[in-house]
Structure 1
Amino acid sequence: MTDDLRALAEASHRVIATHQAPSGAYPASPTFSAYRGYSWFRDGAFIAEGASRYGDADGPAAFHRWCADVLVKRSDQVDALVARALVGERIPVADMLPTRYTIDGGVGNDPWWDFQLDGYGTWLWALAAHADRHGPVDGVDGGVATAVRYLTTFWARPCYDWWEEHVDHRHVSTLGAIRAGLAAAVSHPALSAALTPAERGAAADAVAAIDALVLSSGVVDGHLTKWLGAADVDASLLACVAPFGLATGDLARATVAAVEDALCVDGGVHRYAADTFYGGGQWPLLTAFLGWNQAAAGRVEDAWTSLRWVAAQATPSGELPEQVGHHLLAPEREQEWIDRWGTVATPLLWSHGMYLTLAAELGLVGRAR
């Protein structure tokens, strides 16, 4: 069985490396109608993390340089947004940076739920993690500084969540990603060197403010919540424990337990209880996040169970989907999405990246940290 798991890791890296564009971008899915031709900072950062842990230094570095180039080309836009914010102007969502870009780094014409902040924080975190493993990536300083200016100005603003929903809320998983990225920018020498003292100070202040805000408004019954002022949970909160470290100790344990209790069925993890996207199935990448947290907490056998569940969702050719329909929360809603966009995205490169991360965390391949 271990040989099969290792073979899927090899296949996962092959899927990621094969579909990485010459620009360095990782397409979310090379075949799915709504994702084809686009790269998300969030998805790509986690894809890069999996490939980096597997032992690939060059592919993730190319992705990180692509991200930095995307941001440098928009540094004037960011500076203008910051200036408008400083004078108290109400800035429309449409003026903010998008969450996804075309493979060549442009802004697509397709309408999307585009204002999401978490990807920029996740990228900074992943860049630092890759530098720890394989050495600093050259040519990214301008992008780092631009991302930090953007996040320190707008971190408290409501935006869409991981799932392109609820733009009017401040999502705890978004805050956790921003915090992790800004903390990395302050503390990691390869990133901190790109910042001015004022930028480092603003980033440190934002980290402290996020910590205080989440503790005051994003915790119910001892666990993190889906957004500030809510009571329920979302599987994206798992990232706030491992790897982002927003929650530690009892808060971390309670958050993972709350997600497991509410959203894990027969080993597979749902996004949230009211999910209707493709019927509200279970997501391999979220099950890998659960396994990552289980491994980090010393629950090694549980983590292996999660890895095996993810592996069992692969197609015979070794491709992992976005979600599976074994246990649908809203089966009556599945067909409308098939009619709209086709069958579930397969392969989803983020699923493959998360499989590699969990496999590495368990010592099956590459590097655990």
Structure 2
Amino acid sequence: MLLYFLISCLSFFFLSKSFSLPPWASETKTLLSFHLSKNLLFTNTLHPTTKPDPSSSPLLDQMTILDLPDLALDRILDLLPPSGLSSMAMVCSSLRERCVSDHLWEKHLVNKWGKVLGPAAHREWKRYLSSSSRHLDSSPRNQTGNHPLGFDTIISCLRYISSVLRDGDRQRKALPVDSTMSFYISLETGRFWFPAQVYNRENGHVGFMLSCYDAELSYDTHTDTFQARYPPHGRRAVGVEKGVTWERLRAAPLEASPHHLHVSESLNQLKPGDHIEIQWRRNKEFPYGWWYGIVGHLESCDGDLNHCHCHLSETVVLEFNQYTVGSRWRRTMINKRDHREEGNEEDGFYGGIRKLSCKEEIAMWTRLWPSSNLE
């Protein structure tokens, strides 16, 4: 077994000299060199007078990358970027089976998309697959008995994937079977619109500063930005915004519809200085957005934490310090015991509250803070 691994490693190095290697190959070569040096040292220790000549072995002329041990081959594939996996999958059917496996693509999916994909996005993906399957089931090709995702379709798809990730070709072609690879490619090419939330919608319009709204997103690989579609409300049609950057996106932190009141579970824990997000909408035809604020002190309190009893009161003061002192948007009050949607058509309607405990969430709102106070 040791000799087999040694010959396999040597063949890999000899073959690698005949073509240029991508950047990921250097780490792989280092890994194999380490194993090779250990094996040579072990062999020379047992047979100090023996000087093997690997190039004289007739087996080397017949060796391929598939002759590598599974552990070494899996390590090589694990180091490949998505474009490398797509290219490797076009070599032969054996490599295709390995390169489209979920465990290789899950890492790439999490690394690039993990922060913006929540449970809602995964549910939408399943619905997307279901609708695609119904379309395939009714297609003439499927009725003839040929599988709609056969060898030719997969090869065509893999060529498309490679061209998209390398050259930016965005022509519409068939997707591969239901897999993590399919999910990744559908996101990467912008064909799948996924639900998420956008900070400071409509390019940071002053009316949406320090807010976060639900939207459907489609990725543009050429600009590395997103196109956002906001749900219609009232007489307004679907709002569209282009050029949304990664920094302005997040996965929805709660499983709550933008049209439903969130039932708050942390009201009794709120105390002055706590960071919060609260639902707010302009009128009852609008969807809720999440707005950043801080719990303040009651007017009867002097703000001295050593004597403060605000947390014992049934009334909670919320402050939105991005607005100037005296602005009608600067402060509002809610009732802990009987909390429901509160407000009017003039000042808008306040809904559920979520307390922020994650430092990253608080830091994100701090980075979005406007350069000057709002009126």
TM class, shorter-chain normalised? Answer: under 0.3
* Higher strand residue share: 2
TM-score after normalising by structure 1: 0.24
What TM-score do you get using the length of structure 2 for normalisation?
0.24
Specify which structure has the bigger relative contact order, considering alpha-carbon pairs within 8 angstroms and separated by 6 or more residues.
1
| Rg larger for | 2
Query: Greater helix percent: which structure?
Result: 1
